[in-house]
Amino acid sequence: MQATRPSFDERAKDWDEDPKKIWRSQLTADAILKAVKPSPDTTAFEFGCGTGLLSFAMKDAYAKITLTDTSDGMLDVLRRKISAAGASHMSAMRLDLTTDPLPAERYGIAYSVVTLHHIPDTDGALHRLHDLLQPGGTLCIADLDKEDGSFHGPEEIVHHGFDRQILKGQVEAAGFVDVRFETILEITKKIDGKDRPYPVFLMTAKKAVQS
């Protein structure tokens, strides 16, 4: 029988020791900043932030960054990093994107990397992200293209990546316009002794100025 994967709480303390996680966050940050030029007053919202690798890679780009996650272990590591960096414009918040009350603030950009596939209710998450954005704001989601389930293995209940056309329809149904995809990186894993590439897309979508 296959061992159950440790929880995100358990994995939090070693999360930043993995150079591949730092690399994928840096490439995602570069792609987001290229796709959506921030202005000095842009405020940002990250969901499923983990230890904050993605937001830290863009920390000087935004006026204010709210980082959210459901894992207290991840949030503990993140709070220590924010404090050590003296990054008073960054704040950590425990928030389940699909079930918790949303903050009252509205943001210029919302983003994440490899988190959406961990959230069962994709449509609910997309509608709430639409609510969280200011008119004209941008959603940026980096995640796995559709895969056969080998990325996590059978013991973890997650979406097996996303079909771009189906996700586009869901994003438009949540109220977004101008939905675009590009491939930004490949995560390689050893599966049955062989290197296997898993492409990762960046999807950008706009909340209409009048919606």
Residue located via tokens 């590439």: 197
Distance CA 134, CA 32 (A): 18
Residue 122 is a binding residue for ligand SAM (CB under 6 A): no
* Structure tokens given for 206: 């706009």
42, 43, 66, 71: which one binds ligand SAM (CB under 6 A): 71
Q: Which is nearer to ligand SAM, 178 or 186 (CB)?
A: 186
Provide the CA 173 distance to its chain's centre, in angstroms. Answer: 20
Q: CB 176 → ligand SAM: shortest distance, Å?
A: 19
Between 84 and 103, how does the x/- string for binding to ligand SAM read (CB under 6 A)? ------------xxx-----
Q: Which residues contact 73 (CB under 8 A, 6 or more apart)?
A: 7, 8, 9, 10, 11, 12, 13
Q: Which of 74, 109, 132, 141 binds ligand SAM (CB under 6 A)?
A: 74
| Of 5 and 136, CB closest to ligand SAM | 5
Confirm or reject binding of residue 82 to ligand SAM (CB under 6 A).
no
Is 69 a binding residue for ligand SAM by CB under 6 A? The answer is yes
Q: How far is the CB of 51 from ligand SAM (least distance, A)?
A: 6
- Residue-wise DSSP of 104-147: S--EEEEEEES-GGG-S-HHHHHHHHHHHEEEEEEEEEEEEBP-
Residue 58 is a binding residue for ligand SAM (CB under 6 A): no
| 143 lies in the binding site for ligand SAM (CB under 6 A) | no
In 3D, which of 132, 134, 129, 141 has the Cα closest to residue 179?
A: 141
By CB under 6 A, which span of 63-71, 83-91, 128-136, 164-172 interacts with ligand SAM? 63-71
Instruction: Identify the CA nearest to 16 among candidates 45, 60, 48, 52.
Output: 52
The answer to whether residue 45 forms part of the interface with ligand SAM (CB under 6 A) is no
Q: Say how many C-beta atoms besides its own lie within 10 A of residue 61's C-beta.
A: 19
Residue ranges in 163-192 that form contacts with ligand SAM under rule CB under 6 A: none
Residues that bind ligand SAM (CB under 6 A): 8, 21, 25, 47-50, 53-54, 68-71, 74, 96-98, 112-115, 118-119
